[in-house]
Amino acid sequence: MLMEASEILRGGCLCGAVNYAIRLDRLPPVYACHCLDCQTWSGSAFSIQCVMPEDVLDVAGDIEIYERKTPSGHRSLQRFCAHCHARIFNTNSLRPGIAVLRAGTLTRSDLVDVVGHIWAKRKQPWITIPDSVPSWPESAPTADFAVLVMPR
C-alpha cells in the first residue's frame, strides 16, 4: 500500500516532547526483531524497526542518549525522550551514518508492513510468522538483510 509521505514519515514519543520527520519519499521497509534484548527494551514480544541514513531523520525535542557496549564491542547509542523515556532510534559504531528507528513511534504505525523477522528462534510461541515473509532464527546474513531493509 502506497501512503502519503506526510502520513507515515512523522512520529514522536508518548508525551509529545520529541517529534521527528523523515526526509524520504517513502518509509523504509520495517522488520520485526524477536531477540531477548528487543523484548526486554520494549516490554513486549518484539520490536518493529526501520533502517535509514541518519541524516534523513530530523529530530526536535529534548533527547537523552544511553550508550551501550554491544557483546561484539561496538558502541550503540540509544536516543530517547528525556521526559517519558520512549526510545526513538539508535546508531551503532559498526554502521556509521545509519539510524535504526523504532517504527512503533511513527504517527501512523498502523500503516507499516513488516517485511522480515529476525531472531525468530526467540519469538513467543503464540506468534505466527506468515510463510510469505522472510525470517531467520538469529540475525539475517548481512547481504540478505541489507537488500530487505535498506531504503530503495
pLDDT digits (tens, 9 = 90+) for 95-144: 899 999 999 999 999 889 899 999 999 999 999 999 999 999 998 888 88
Residue 19 · residue 61 · CB < 8 Å: yes
Flag whether 66 is in a domain: yes
Residue 102: which CATH number?
A: 3.90.1590.10
Residue 40 lies in a domain: yes
Element (H or E) spanning 105, and its range? none
Assign 6 to helix, strand or coil.
Answer: helix
Q: What confidence category does residue 76 fall into, taking pLDDT thresholds of 50, 70 and 90?
A: very high
Residue 81 resides in a domain: yes
- 21 close to 34: Cβ distance less than 8 angstroms: no
Please indicate, yes or no, if residue 147 is contained in any of the structural domains: no
Is 151 a domain residue? no
Confirm whether 150 is domain-assigned. Answer: no
Q: Report pTM.
A: 0.87
Q: Residues 41, 87: contact at Cβ < 8 Å?
A: yes
Domain span including residue 72: 8-142
**Contact criterion met (CB below 8 Å) for 111 and 9:** no
In a domain, 19, yes or no: yes
Alpha-carbon distances of 8 from 33, 40, 97, 118, 152, rounded to whole Å:
21, 26, 22, 23, 16
> For 39-54, what is the mean pLDDT?
91
DSSP 115-127: EEEE-GGGS-TT-
| Per-residue cell: 76 | 550503540
Within a domain: 2: no
pLDDT band at 6 (very low <50, low <70, confident <90, very high): low
Count up the domains in the chain and report the number.
1
